[in-house]
Amino acid sequence: GESVGLHLPTLSVQEGDNSIINCAYSNSASDYFIWYKQESGKGPQFIIDIRSNMDKRQGQRVTVLLNKTVKHLSLQIAATQPGDSAVYFCADWSSSASKIIFGSGTRLSIRP
């Protein structure tokens, strides 16, 4: 079965606010956690990843937080824009499995 899963299927956020997308995982042996964005009619697009020995990693307008104690991963998007509307997937990778396993996805919608 899947080793990663998402708390909520949909998230609605006011434009300009920060978005937080959450993800739970079960595989303690995961070496990397990755976030992908999928817009309608397109393939998933890599956003950011974090190695399992890190707690936080920042990118452009995005931050990923990893809490290994409770096996929780989150993606924070600052100043959400209409272009952020998409489905967001968390995924994990372990050297033993050597493949990326995707979670079920959260749809982010932006209110004007």
Coil, strand or helix at 83: helix
Residue 41 found at the interface with other proteins (CB under 8 A): yes
Applying CB under 8 A, among 10, 12, 28, 45 the residue interacting with other proteins is: 45
Nearer to other proteins, 48 or 78 (CB): 48
Q: Does 31 bind other proteins (CB under 8 A)?
A: yes
Among positions 13, 105, 108, 110, the unique one binding other proteins when judged by CB under 8 A: 105
Q: How far apart (Å, rounded) are the C-alpha atoms in residues 32 and 1?
A: 18
- Least gap, CB of 112 to other proteins (angstroms): 27
Q: How far apart are CA 30 and CA 107, in angstroms?
A: 24
Is the Cα torsion angle 22, 25, 31, 34 positive or negative in sign?
Answer: negative
57 near other proteins, judged by CB under 8 A:
no
CB of 6 vs other proteins, minimal distance in Å = 10
Please state, in angstroms and rounded to a whole number, the distance separating the CA atoms of residues 44 and 41: 10
We find the least distance from the C-beta atom of residue 42 to other proteins, in angstroms, to be 6
Contact 73, 49 (CB under 8 A): no
